């Protein structure tokens, strides 16, 4: 068992799959000689060479176009879009091209492609470099969406994504890059579409993703010690496919559900999960589902305002406390 940062887990996860399969290639802006703008890909070009680890021009359309062509002709590319905000520049590839190729060819053309991107706020990068956009992507049929919260999950879910026959967008949270965690030695292979109960509890279910998972865990500990509210915390991990069985079983046990979402409130991923909960286990609920989200605003760059916008441990605790004691 080794301790490593989330940042180092990215490089280890990519290296694991490149060592295993010579058809895996890696391309993106500044990923090779510079080691990535967040230093998450350091050492890969030295290990695998410039033919398999390629720096590209500053063109998101070119990156995904080249990656899609490579995937359709037998390779297994990992493509980096530096900031998740920039997938808007190449959204046609996501929404209309690579996500539809397998369906429109009746399975004759597969597109085994992983799109890595740095997601979320916390670094004061402002409204164009801090968005949490997983909800943009989960609405696209044919595209799988994952967002790990720990170093071990980064490695395991990267393996699952690379080995999947369909395109997967892999959201890495910028604020988690320096966070350390344990990861088993040797090969780590996880499974898409499996949520994790990271804290058992009896009184309420908290659904969280990426950076919101450690905040939900901290809030759950405070709710238990200070208010006697025992919350179960689920790391959703994969939005598409979605582990509805784990989520619904938890809500049926605890009878309350809260989502903690960094994406803006309007059309956030939690709205879809709440809809599923209400459809499937409505009569098990003892109170209304509540969503704890970022407001529907451009994310501020000012530290005080950004911290106020993104759900904090304090806001999670206070929202759940008020609701449970109402």
For residue 241, cis peptide bond before it (omega within 30 degrees of 0) = yes
What contacts 96, CB < 8 A, 6 or more positions away? none
Kindly name the residue from 17, 29, 80, 129 that is annotated as catalytic.
Answer: 129
Q: In a 3-state reduction of DSSP, which class is residue 15?
A: helix
Which residues make beta-bridge pairs with 146? 170, 238
- Distance from C-alpha of 188 to C-alpha of 143, rounded to nearest angstrom: 23
- Distance from C-alpha of 118 to C-alpha of 175, rounded to nearest angstrom: 9
- Distance from C-alpha of 289 to C-alpha of 286, rounded to nearest angstrom: 9
- DSSP assignments along 91-119, one per residue: HHIIIIITTTHHHHTTTSS----EEEEEE
Kindly name the residue from 17, 29, 60, 306 that is annotated as catalytic.
Answer: 60
Q: Tokens representing 58? A: 């500053």
Specify whether 325 is catalytic.
Answer: no
Tokens 């992507």, located at residue: 137
CA 39 to chain centroid: 19
What contacts 10, CB < 8 A, 6 or more positions away? 40, 41, 116, 154, 158, 172
Specify whether 296 is catalytic.
Answer: no
Q: In a 3-state reduction of DSSP, which class is residue 238?
A: strand
- DSSP assignments along 152-171, one per residue: HHHHHHHHHHHTSSS-EEEE
Which residues are designated catalytic? 60, 129
């Amino acid at each position: 068992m080794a301790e490593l940062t989330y940042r180092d887990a990215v490089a280890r996860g990519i290296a694991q799959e490149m060592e295993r399969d010579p058809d895996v290639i890696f391309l993106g802006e500044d990923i090779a000689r510079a080691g990535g703008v967040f230093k998450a890909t350091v050492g890969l070009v030295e290990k695998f060479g410039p033919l398999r680890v390629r720096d590209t021009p500053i063109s998101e359309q070119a990156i995904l176009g080249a990656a899609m062509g490579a995937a359709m002709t037998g390779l297994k590319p990992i493509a980096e879009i530096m900031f998740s905000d920039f997938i808007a520049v190449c959204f046609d590839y996501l929404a209309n091209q690579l996500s539809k190729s397998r369906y429109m060819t009746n399975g004759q053309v597969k597109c085994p492609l992983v799109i890595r991107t740095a997601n979320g706020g916390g670094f004061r990068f402002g409204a164009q470099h801090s968005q949490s956009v997983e909800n943009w992507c989960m609405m696209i049929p044919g595209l799988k969406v994952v967002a790990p919260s720990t170093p071990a999950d980064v490695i395991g879910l990267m393996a699952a994504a690379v080995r999947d026959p369909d395109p997967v967008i892999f959201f890495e949270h910028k604020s988690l890059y320096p966070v350390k965690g344990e990861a088993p030695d040797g090969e780590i292979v996880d499974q898409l579409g499996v949520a994790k109960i990271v804290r058992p509890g009896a009184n309420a279910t908290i659904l969280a993703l990426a950076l919101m998972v450690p905040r939900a865990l901290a809030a759950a500990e405070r709710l238990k010690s200070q208010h006697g509210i025992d919350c179960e915390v689920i790391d959703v991990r994969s939005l598409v496919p979605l582990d509805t069985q784990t989520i619904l079983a938890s809500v049926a046990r605890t009878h309350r559900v809260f989502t903690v979402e960094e994406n803006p409130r309007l059309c956030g991923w939690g709205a879809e999960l709440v809809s599923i909960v209400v459809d499937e286990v409505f009569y098990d609920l003892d109170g209304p589902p509540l969503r704890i989200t970022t407001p529907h605003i451009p994310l501020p760059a000012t530290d005080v305002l950004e911290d106020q916008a993104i759900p904090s441990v304090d806001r999670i605790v206070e929202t759940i406390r008020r609701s449970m004691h109402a």
